């Protein structure tokens, strides 16, 4: 055990030496010439000139010592399937998958969209892309065809990987019809679609010449060995789309070398996972947590990773603890929402299994409230580590770092800056650093450490303008979160500075949902806000103005219209963005210059003071919001 303050200091003041040391945790095919090229701020290139491969580091590197160790355990409480892959077996599957991709002409730098349920083949696909230097872009399976099409058009993939269907809560969800629809909507559809047929959707149809069957191609490549393609450290490994203030999602681009080093270092120092141990991250490969801590982190670190398809409460609320006990899980990672869901269940499930193997539970993605943290800490008798980060950073910005020093944690706080992050809390308008316990915007002085986004895919200008242009007098990375720091240095996150909503740890853009709702032909205007929700943290609430008022004139008509609006969102974005409630009004609160006053609407919807209203154009609009929320 060392001293975290000293470790952190070295990461900032002796930056290059610090990261050169961490870089020894992975294999380099060619050593790097310099640790950092920061000649074009704020673009940071880590481990310049070095050549490496993520898949080699996640699999091949371990074959000598741990070929027969479990690498991946796939468990589906939906289909009842369970399958274990040793490092040797996973390596073989990934080689087959890589050979299939190559047989379809996929080469280094080509994009591959992965639109998959939580099955082992999704992980094969990601690692196979990494092996041949193709850039994967995993799209969460819950996204609707229109969202998928937007991402396809931005990434312009050569090939897409999907499955016949997923399953959720015992219900089969066909994926292929969604893919067909997305490809119909897309301007730049991929030439080929590789389908993993799980025999769930009996109506699966294939398009001649475009759609390929994974099982038959796998048979043809059973003995394939595909040499890893060595990439220069800053060449891209993946793109992951995330929401912001505009309607257009941003493609977060991750590099190769910095990504590998950052993740393995975080596994050791933050998540305290040892090679040979087991990690269970209950998330989805469609999110950054899934990329970093279901797939790459644990495998880079020689651990066993659990890939779980299912809900936390099915067949009963003991399923996760059963998985922990049966697989001797040492480290677990999930979201506060999942714990709040479990908290509503009968407590006996928590004591049904022996979970003494579990050391720590890491929670991230949204604020962790104290009652939830205390409840799960008492119930499991394990360390609870609240860690704060973003799709953009790929690994924690704020966390305690128990692998270096087990500093005391404070409930409600994700502790302090992770090594490598030079953080500043800045006053929103002056850009001056705020004092102890004063609210400021959480920012990081660039260069950002390894593993963070290198740019926005295909749009360097957007990268600079979105993340580094919030303050006139300095170029800092903005997290878009408010925070305070107490006298002991602990940070507390207070919520977003922009109009982003966080539902169950998933980021949704208000503009995106508003645009989706506007696709309904009877909607003239709409405002979307996030309101406090006891389980999910926030819920989506919409206030809409209709074109034809007769369609909301009676409560029955309004209820019907609300259903239609919800269905429109399901179709445009997916059910995860569906508003929990749609209120109909005749006027929306705006400034005189026509800007929507979302924060005032949100305050009223949450029963808070709407704040300064001097710029409001028509007070009647706020009255309508108030009445709508009160059900008048
Ligand atoms: P995403 O990129 O979807 O993971 O969302 C990142 C956002 O989630 C952050 O900007 C925060 O607003 C929020 N967030 C993530 N982790 C935490 C945490 N531990 N505490 C509070 N908010 C968090």
Q: Is the pLDDT of residue 246 over 80?
A: no
Matching residue, tokens 């500075």: 497
Q: Is the pLDDT of residue 1 over 70?
A: no
**What is the CA(507)–ligand 1 centre distance, in A?**
8
Q: Please tell me the distance between residue 232's alpha carbon and the centre of ligand 1 in angstroms.
A: 30
- CA 401 to ligand 1 centroid distance, Å: 18
Distance CA 178, CA 116 (A): 12
* Whether residue 515 has its Cβ less than 6 Å from ligand 1: no
- Answer whether residue 247 shows pLDDT above 90: no
Q: How confident is the model at residue 280 (pLDDT cuts 50, 70, 90)?
A: very high
pLDDT > 70? residue 152? yes
Instruction: Tell me the C-alpha to C-alpha distance, in Å, between residue 465 and each of 45, 462, 475.
Output: 19, 5, 10
Pocket lining: 509 vs ligand 1, CB cutoff 6 Å: no
Is ligand 1 within 6 A of the CB of residue 481? yes
CA dist 439 → 168, 205, 599 (Å): 41, 55, 17
- Greater confidence, 331 or 598? 331
Domains of the chain by range and CATH?
423-496 (2.30.38.10), 500-630 (3.30.300.30)
Q: Cis link prior to 42 (omega < 30° from 0)?
A: yes
Q: Is the distance from the beta carbon of residue 243 to the nearest atom of ligand 1 less than 6 Å? A: no
Range from 305-319, 383-397, 606-620 carrying the lowest mean pLDDT: 606-620
Separation of CA 365 and ligand 1 centre (Å): 4
Residue-wise pLDDT for 585-618, tens only, equals 999 998 887 888 898 999 999 999 888 777 788 8
Could you tell me the pLDDT band of residue 350, with boundaries at 50, 70 and 90?
Answer: confident
Whether 502 is in the pocket of ligand 1, judged by its Cβ within 6 Å, is yes
Environment class of 593 (CB within 10 Å of its CB; exposed 0-12, middle 13-18, buried 19+): exposed
Question: For ligand 1, what atom is nearest to the CA of residue 387?
Answer: 19
Residue-averaged pLDDT of the chain: 96
> Cα(196)–Cα(206) distance, rounded to whole angstroms?
12
Phi and psi torsions of 310, nearest 5°: 155, 180
Residue 416 C-alpha to ligand 1 middle, in angstroms?
15
The residue contributing the CA closest to ligand 1 atom 21 is 367
Q: Is 367 in the pocket of ligand 1 (CB under 6 A)?
A: yes
- Closest ligand 1 atom to residue 479 Cα is 10
Global pTM reads 0.95
Q: Give the position, in ligand 1's atom list, of the atom nearest the Cα of 496.
A: 12
Q: Is 391 in the pocket of ligand 1 (CB under 6 A)?
A: yes
CA dist., res. 409 & res. 489, Å (int):
11
479 CB less than 6 Å from ligand 1? Answer: yes
What percentage of the chain reaches a pLDDT higher than 90?
Answer: 92
- The pLDDT of residue 417 is above 60: yes
CB 99 within 8 A of CB 129: no
Whose CA is closest to atom 19 on ligand 1? Answer: 388
In three-state form (DSSP H/G/I as H, E/B as E, the rest C), the secondary structure along 491-516 is EEEEEECCCEEEECCEEEEHHHHHHH
493 lines ligand 1 (CB under 6 A): yes
Structure tokens at 344: 């509503």
CA 396 / ligand 1 centre spacing (Å): 10
Ligand 1 atom closest to Cα of residue 493: 21
Look at residues 121, 131, 93, 418 and name the one whose alpha carbon lies nearest to residue 262. Answer: 418
Whether ligand 1 lies within 6 angstroms of the CB of 164 is answered as no
State the distance from the centre of ligand 1 to the C-alpha of 505, rounded, in angstroms.
7
Q: What tens digit of pLDDT does each residue of 460-494 get?
A: 999 999 999 999 989 999 999 999 999 999 999 99
- Please write the tens of the pLDDT for every residue from 63-122: 999 999 999 999 999 999 999 999 999 999 999 999 999 999 999 999 999 999 999 999
420 CB within 6 A, ligand 1: no
pLDDT digits (tens, 9 = 90+) for 202-241: 999 999 999 999 999 999 999 999 999 999 999 999 999 9
Strand partners, 525: 545
- 387 in Cβ contact with 364 (< 8 Å): yes
């Amino acid at each position: 055990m060392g001293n975290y303050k000293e470790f952190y200091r070295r990461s900032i003041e002796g930056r290059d030496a610090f990261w050169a040391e961490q870089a020894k945790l992975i294999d380099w095919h060619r050593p790097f010439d310099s640790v950092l090229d920061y000649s074009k701020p704020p673009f940071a290139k880590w481990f310049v000139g070095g050549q490496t491969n993520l898949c080699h580091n996640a699999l091949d590197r371990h074959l000598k010592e741990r070929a027969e160790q479990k690498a991946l355990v796939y468990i589906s409480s939906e289909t009842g399937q369970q399958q274990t892959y040793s490092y040797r077996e996973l390596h073989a599957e990934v080689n087959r998958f890589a050979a299939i991709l190559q047989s379809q002409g996929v080469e280094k730098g080509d994009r591959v969209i992965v639109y998959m349920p939580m099955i082992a083949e999704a992980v094969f696909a990601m690692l196979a892309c990494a092996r041949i230097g193709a850039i994967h872009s995993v799209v969460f399976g819950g996204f609707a065809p229109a969202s998928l099409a937007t991402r396809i058009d931005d990434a312009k993939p050569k090939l897409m990987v999907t499955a016949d269907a997923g399953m959720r809560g015992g219900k089969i969800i066909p994926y292929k019809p969604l893919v067909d629809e997305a490809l119909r909507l897309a301007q730049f559809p991929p030439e080929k679609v590789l389908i993993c047929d799980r025999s769930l959707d009996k109506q699966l149809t294939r398009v001649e010449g475009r759609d390929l069957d994974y099982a038959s191609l796998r048979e043809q490549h059973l003995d394939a060995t595909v040499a890893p393609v060595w990439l220069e450290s800053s060449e891209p490994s993946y793109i992951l789309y995330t929401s912001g203030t505009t309607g257009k999602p941003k493609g977060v681009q991750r590099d190769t070398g910095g990504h590998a080093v950052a993740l393995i270092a975080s596994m050791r120092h933050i998540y305290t996972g040892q090679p040979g141990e087991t990690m269970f991250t209950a998330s989805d490969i469609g999110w950054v947590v899934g990329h970093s801590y279901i797939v790459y982190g644990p495998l880079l670190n020689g651990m066993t990773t659990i890939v779980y398809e299912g809900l936390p409460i099915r067949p009963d609320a003991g399923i996760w603890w059963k998985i922990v006990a049966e697989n001797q899980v040492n480290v677990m990672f999930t979201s506060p929402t999942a714990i709040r869901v479990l908290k509503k269940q009968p407590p006996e499930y928590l004591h049904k299994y022996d979970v003494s193997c579990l050391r720590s539970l890491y929670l991230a993605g949204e604020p962790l409230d104290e009652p939830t943290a205390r409840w799960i800490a008492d119930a499991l008798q394990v360390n609870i580590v609240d860690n704060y980060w973003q799709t953009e950073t790929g690994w924690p910005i704020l966390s305690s770092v128990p692998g270096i020093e087990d500093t005391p944690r404070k409930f409600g706080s994700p502790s302090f800056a992770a090594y490598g992050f030079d953080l500043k809390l800045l006053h929103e308008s002056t850009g001056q650093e705020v004092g102890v316990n004063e609210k400021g915007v959480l920012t990081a002085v660039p260069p950002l450490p390894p593993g963070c986004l290198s740019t926005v895919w295909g749009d360097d200008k957007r990268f600079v303008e979105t993340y580094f242009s919030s303050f006139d007098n300095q170029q800092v990375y903005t997290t878009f979160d408010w925070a305070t720091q107490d006298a002991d240095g602990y940070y507390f996150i207070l919520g977003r500075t922009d109009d982003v909503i966080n539902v169950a740890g998933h980021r949704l853009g208000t503009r995106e949902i508003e645009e989706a709702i506007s696709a309904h032909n009877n909607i003239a205007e709409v405002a979307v806000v996030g309101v406090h929700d006891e389980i999910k943290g926030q819920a989506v609430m919409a206030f809409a103005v209709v074109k034809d008022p007769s369609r909301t004139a009676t409560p029955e008509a309004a209820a019907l219209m609300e259903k239609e609006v919800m269905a429109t969102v399901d179709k445009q974005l997916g059910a995860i963005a569906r508003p929990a409630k749609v209120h109909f009004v005749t006027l929306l609160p705006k400034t005189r210059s026509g800007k929507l006053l979302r924060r005032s609407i949100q305050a009223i919807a949450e029963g808070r003071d709407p704040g300064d209203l001097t710029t409001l154009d028509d007070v009647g609009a706020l009255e309508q919001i108030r009445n709508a929320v009160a059900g008048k």
